[in-house]
Amino acid sequence: MTNDTTNTIKDNPQTRWIVVTGLDGSGKTTLVKNLADYYRNEKNLRVATDRFPHDKYLVHELLEKSKDAYTDRLLFALDNRIFGTELKEMMDSKKYDIIITQRGFLDSFVHGSVQGFSYAWINELNRVNDLPKCDVMIHMVCNAGVAYSRICDDPDADKFEYPDYIKKQERETRKAYDEVTSGRNPNFEHFKNAQNIYIDTTQMSTSEVFSFAIKKLEKTNLI
């Protein structure tokens, strides 16, 4: 968990959790960093940042050893449960004004559906209704070809970052946003109270993405 406890702050009675979710290559990493810098330096807030999946052993060891989609989903669900408990403790402690994570529980629905699993099965496996609820989800998408061009030279790219997977992920990312915002699918009950911000970054610079996100976040009146 990356944090900054030196920049204090107003007395905020509730920690807000912002999730930056979406397609690989859509700009999530950069936006998380820019938002954290802004809230720390411009708003003088206590900010913690982290990412899903959270457990480094799971990411760098176990996931690379997994040879099938079912095992992948079990590992990600395990990470959700472990990190979800840690997030709850952080939010209850009120040590931070804002927690910003790269990805969240919704990403398990997106990647699980890409790998052929139903929303109902993913929901039952992860039991997300037991886990902390975020205040805002920033859904980031872009054209799959653009996304892959941004990550194809990344030395830290994982086993999921190849053209066919990214194309399916783009479709499922857009579909998941529709499911969340429609409020009709009971498997997405966990996300019903989150405020949603949708950004298609295909033709946007990182500074344009940041400016757009800040304007939308200010309208939520949560921060």
Q: Which domain holds residue 168?
A: 2-216
Whole-structure pTM value: 0.90
Say if 201 falls within a structural domain: yes
% of the chain at pLDDT higher than 90: 79
Say if 221 falls within a structural domain: no
What total of structural domains would you count in the chain? Answer: 1
Express each pLDDT in 155-194 by its tens digit: 566 667 788 999 999 999 999 999 999 999 999 999 999 9
Express each pLDDT in 51-90 by its tens digit: 998 888 877 789 889 999 999 999 999 999 999 999 999 9
Lowest-confidence range among 19-28, 61-70, 104-113, 212-221? 61-70
- Residue that has been written with the tokens 């980031």 in this structure: 140
Decide if 22 contacts 139 (C-beta within 8 A).
yes
Say if 8 falls within a structural domain: yes
Note the pLDDT of residue 63.
Answer: 86
Say if 27 falls within a structural domain: yes
Decide if 1 contacts 54 (C-beta within 8 A).
no
Say if 193 falls within a structural domain: yes
* Number of neighbours of residue 65 by Cβ within 10 angstroms: 8
Say if 222 falls within a structural domain: no
Say if 223 falls within a structural domain: no
Note the pLDDT of residue 56.
Answer: 80
Question: Has residue 139 got a pLDDT over 90?
Answer: yes
Question: Has residue 93 got a pLDDT over 90?
Answer: yes
Question: Has residue 3 got a pLDDT over 50?
Answer: no
Note the pLDDT of residue 55.
Answer: 83
Note the pLDDT of residue 10.
Answer: 44
Strand segments (E) across 94-153: 98-102, 136-141
Question: Has residue 97 got a pLDDT over 90?
Answer: yes
Q: What angle do CA 197, 203, 208 make, to 5 degrees?
A: 60
Say if 199 falls within a structural domain: yes
What CATH code is carried by the domain that includes residue 209? 3.40.50.300
Rounded to whole angstroms, what are the CA distances from 139 to 48, 152, 162, 163? 20, 22, 21, 20
Indicate the pLDDT class of residue 5, thresholds 50, 70 and 90.
very low
What value does the mean pLDDT take over residues 45-51?
96
